[in-house]
Amino acid sequence: MIVNVSEAKANLSKLIDMAYHGEEVIIAKNNLPLVELQLHKPKEKRKLGLLAGKIHIPEDFLQEDEEINAMFHEERL
């Protein structure tokens, strides 16, 4: 299906749904085809663990610090 830009603006949701269901949707300007709507396909899978071995988290990371707690929980007058 080829539609002009003005029609595409008015019916974008419908055109996206058509492309999602496998139909060919081409948007044209002055009857000159410019772009084609198609499903997004990721270029590659996400790579997990890219920082493995590059950062160090201290053993006491989750331990509370009394001085910092006092700053947060200090009663104000």
pLDDT in tens, 27-64: 999 989 999 999 988 888 888 888 888 998 889 889 98
Distance, in Å, from the CA atom of 33 to the CA atom of 41, rounded to the nearest integer, reads 22
pLDDT of residue 9: 95
Q: Which residue type does 26 have?
A: I
Q: pTM of the entire structure?
A: 0.55
Residues 6+ apart with CB under 8 A from 20: 39
